[in-house]
Each structure stands twice: as structure tokens, then as C-alpha cells.
Structure 1
């Protein structure tokens, strides 16, 4: 895997394969679709509240990924519900904006055949991805949301205490011992790769 490099103009670049690009594009598409669920219904229920960012709903989302992305803020359910009512819509919009930045940066490269020149197999092609310095934090936040979504599928974490107590070595060993044919091994590989991307960007933001 290539590492991130800081360009003279302050932008961050990395050589990324077209296959890796497709993975991120697919994940961001799925995340955007999930985050957009209920948008039209919420606007129809009370357009004014929708405009000012207040939700009619104060319940914890049914979807496990959304529950991970928008957990209860307090142990007290009443306080959590009130907090959710006033903040969840705005948080959803921010998360969608972060995902769109990643999606647009990747899709702006063109179709796979255009990227590879039409002569190189998609899984062999690569291109230089440029990340605007002003969008670094958006990328970090968006990648974190993608990783949290994958963590739900992998059964990693679930609440603050579990997240703090995660034995990363034990989890790594569990998935390393899986057969290559097990689809969850591929999911974990993507989960780990996104973590590597996050770490690389963090190092560029805060170099030693």
C-alpha cells in the first residue's frame, strides 16, 4: 500500500488502486442511502421544524448502524431523547456532507476504463488521489463513519465500555484464522484498511 504524501501546495496525495476506489465508492453510497432514510417523511411531517433542524422523532434508530452512528448521549433515556430531537438532524446532515466529499473526490476521476486507459484491468489500475487540505477533517470523519458501520457488521464494540475494552490483537487473530472463502474476512480487511487510511491522514495533520 502506498502512503500519504504532502504536496508543495499543502494538499495530501496517495496512490490508490481502482479496486480500492470502488470499495470506498460503494461504501459511501450505502452510507449516504442509509443516512437519507426518512428525509422526505421528516420534511412532510413538519417542514418548519425540518428547516431549523429539529426532528419530530426522538427515538433511538432501529437500524443497528444508525444506532452506532447516533448513540444515546446520556444514560437517562429522557435526556437522550430530548438531545436527539434537537441534534440528530444536524448530525445526519454533517455525516452526509462528509460522505459526499469522499464520494465526489473518488468519482471525479471518471469511469474505470477512463482511469486505467482502457487497456489495464480494473483490479490492476491505479491513480493519484488528491485530498484538499481544507477537507482533511471531513475525510477523517467520513472514514470514521464507514469504519463504525463495518464494525457493526463485524460485531466489534457496541457501547462505550465495550469500545474501550476491545482487544484489537484478539480480534485481528480471529479474522486472520478465518478461511479466505469466509466473506467476513474480506469485510475485516476493509475495516483494517480504512483504519490505516485514518491513521495516515492523522499523521499528516499532526506530524511529529
Structure 2
């Protein structure tokens, strides 16, 4: 069973069982695939080289909309910001997910502060996707999901996703607590 993350002299350390490692790696991979941009039939070579696209529509997938929300309530400003930043934001998120997955290859997992920040971002993206799929939009929805998982054994896809959501939430909380201990004392 996972022991969560703790700050030590070696860095931020977490211990996981093999099934937990496989689960997290699968979640990181799935979210990375969700973030991968849709292939375009024709792309301007200069756009590909520079890293922005002329027309980047807002994502239709609710999970992607949570991970890549509009930067402004003004539709024109939001579209311009998305055009300039969408690709690089996706690439940074995918890179963090891959790095987090690779970090799970060692036992125990030992992270530097920077690696822990990437790991926390990756866990947050996983939580955003799971929350979207579980339709968690309010504290009441979160309570509904928590009640789903109180039965001990997951008997439906929704209950299983709820258990995974709660595990990832707990893991992120332990990681954030460990990261807080790296801040200088006031």
C-alpha cells in the first residue's frame, strides 16, 4: 500500500506497491494521450517550427476544457491566447506526465523539489480528468463521489473511478504537504 510522500534529507520520497505504480503510469499515459493535439491534414511548416497554430479551437472534451481553460471571458482575447500558447502548454503538460511516469520506475520514488512540482501538476491533471468524467462540479458532487466509494469494493465503473480519484487526491495532498516543508521558514 502507498505510503504517500514525505520530505527527507534525500528529497521528497514516496513508496508504492507495483499495482499502484502501474495505475499511476497508466493514468499519466492516458492523460498525456488526451492532451495530444489532434493531427491536422495540412499544417504550415513555419507554424510547426515556431510552435503555434493559426486556428486553435476551444476543446470540446470537458476534461480538456478543465485542463486548458480559456484565459479570458472575452472570446477574442481567449482565442488569441489559445493560439499563442496551446501547443506549448500541452507539450509542457505531456512532458511533466512523462517525467512523472519515469520517476515511478525507482523504488522508492525520490524527487527533487522541481520534480515534485511536475509530479504535483501531473496528479492535478489526472484529478481534473477524473473529476470531469465523474461530473464533479461542486462540493456536493464531491460528497456524492466520496459516498460512492465508502462501500469498500468498487462494483461499477463510476465507483472504481471514484476510488482512483480519492487515491490520487490523497497522494497529491501528501505531495503538497511535503512540498510545503521545502519552503523557507518565515
Asked if these proteins are the same fold (TM beyond 0.5), I'd say yes
RMSD over aligned CA atoms reads 2.2
Residue segments in structure 1 that go unaligned for 5+ positions in a row: 110-126, 158-164
Per-residue deviation, residues 14-41 of structure 1 (Å, max 9, x unmatched): 2211111111111111112222232x53
User: What is the TM-score of this pair, normalised by structure 2?
Assistant: 0.85
Matched, 1:54 2:28: no
What pairs up with 1:54-203 in 2 under 5 angstroms?
54-106=52-104, 108-109=105-106, 127-157=107-137, 165-167=138-140, 168-176=142-150, 180-203=154-177
Q: Is the 8 A contact 1:46 1:56 kept in 2?
A: no
Deviation at 1:175, TM superposition (A): 4.5
CA distance in 1, matches of 2:148, 2:72: 32
Match of 1:41 in 2: 40
TM-score when scaled to structure 1?
0.77
Structure 2 residue runs without a partner (length 5+): none
SS at match of 1:4: strand
The alignment covers a number of residue pairs equal to: 180
Tell me the distance in 2 between the aligned counterparts of 1:77 and 1:33. 27
